[in-house]
Amino acid sequence: MVAPALVMVVGLPGTGKSTFSRALALHLGAKHLNSDVIRAEIGLRGKYSPEDKAKVYRKLEERTEGFLKAGSTVIVDATLYLKDLRQAYTDLAQRLECPIKWIELQTGEATIKERVSKQRQYSEADMSVYNKIKKLYEPLSGDHLNLKTDTASLETLVDTAAKFINHEPTTN
Higher pLDDT, 161 or 82: 161
Query: Reduced to 3 states, what is the DSSP secondary structure of residue 116?
Result: helix
Burial of 59 (0-12, 13-18, 19+ CB in 10 A): middle
* Paired residues of 145 in beta bridges: 103
What percent of the chain stands above pLDDT 90? 51
Check whether 111 has a pLDDT greater than 80. no
Q: In the chain, where are the structural domains located?
A: 6-165
Query: pLDDT-derived band of residue 172, with 50, 70 and 90 as boundaries?
Result: very low
3-class SS shares of the chain: helix, strand, coil, % to 5: 50, 15, 40
Fold of domain 6-165 = Rossmann fold (3.40.50)
Cα 127 to Cα 134: distance, rounded to the nearest angstrom: 10
What percent of the chain stands above pLDDT 70? 88
Phi, psi dihedrals of residue 30, rounded to the nearest 5°? -105, 165
Q: How confident is the model over 66-78, as pLDDT tens digits?
A: 999 999 999 999 9
41-48 — which CB contacts under 8 Å span 24+ positions?
45/124, 46/124
Q: How confident is the model over 83-98, as pLDDT tens digits?
A: 988 999 999 999 999 9
Query: Region 1-17: what's the mean pLDDT?
Result: 84
Check whether 150 has a pLDDT greater than 80. yes
